[in-house]
Structure 1
C-alpha cells in the first residue's frame, strides 16, 4: 500500500472504514478483517480495537458510511424523483460489494444503531415518492424495482450491454411501473 493512503495521525476510525471498504471491493466480504484493515491503514493490528470491538462492528460502520454516501448521491436530485432513483441504481452499480453488504442479511440493523439511522436516512428520498402522491405501497414497489435491478447489477446477472446503462434501466422500469399504476387507477372499480 502506498504511504499516501495509509493512516497518518488523522482520523483512525475513518481510515479503518476506508481501508475495510477497499478490502471489501477488492477481496469480497471474506477478505475484510480487523487485522487486514489495520495493515491497509498502516497501523498496528491492535489499533482497530480502539474503535471497533469486532469485525461485525467494523462492517456495520462500513455499511453505515455506504448508506451515508447513497443518501448524498440521491440528495443531489429532487426527493422522490426519477433522478434520485437513477442515483440509487448508479450507486449500486459503482459499488457492488458495498451495496451487497448494506442490504445483505449479514448485519442486523437493530444491533447497530448507527447503521439503522444511516439506512433510514438513505431511504428518505425514496419515501418522498409517497409524499408526492403515491401510496406507501407504490413507494415500496419503486424500491423493489430499484433494489431488484441493483442486485442484478451487483451480482453480474445482466448482459454487459444492459449493465453498462443502469440509469436507462431505471428509467424503463420506472416508466413501465408508473404506466401500470396509472392503468390500475383508471380501471373501473379501482376508486
Structure 2
C-alpha cells in the first residue's frame, strides 16, 4: 500500500495535479490492444491528460496508469510505486522503452499481478525482478527510471500498455482462466464508469 505521508522520490518533479477522474477503459476495448502514438507535442493538453491519469490512478488505488486505460491513444504512463525497500518513486514517462537484465543478471519474480483495466483479479505473472525505462517527460526532456520489486513490475506493465499488450497476454491459458473467473466474480464491485465519481478533482 502507498504511504501517503511519505515524501516520494520525484527526480523530474511532482506529478501533475488538478485532473479529472475518468472511467477506466477495460480489456477488450480496441485502444487497449494496439501500439499507441508517440508523443511529439509537449503542451498544456498533454499535461492536462497526465493530470487526469494521475487523478484516475489514485481514485482507483493503483500504482501506475497508461493513457490507453482512460481511452487515449497516447504512448504515456504515470506511476507512484514503491520498490523492494519500500521507497516510493513518482514520474511521468512518454514514449517509454524498457530495458531488462539478460544472462546471469536475469532473475524472474513470479509475484501476483493485476490490472486496473481488468479490476479485482490477480494471478502470478513471471517478470524480471529489475527493470529500467527511458523516455521523455512532459517537457520533452529525457527521463530515466529503474528499480526492483513492485517498481520493476510496474515499469514493465505500463510500458507493455503503450505497446498494446495487457498482462493477460503473457499468461498461460490456465492462469488466464483463473484471472477471468476472479474478474467476473468481482465485476459488481467495479461497475461501468468506475472509478469516476462526482468528486472528480484530485
TM-score surpassing 0.5? Answer: no
Structure (1 or 2) with the greater helix fraction: 1
**Whose Rg is larger?**
1
Question: What is the TM-score normalised by the length of structure 1?
Answer: 0.29
More strand as a share of residues: 2
TM-score (norm 2): 0.28
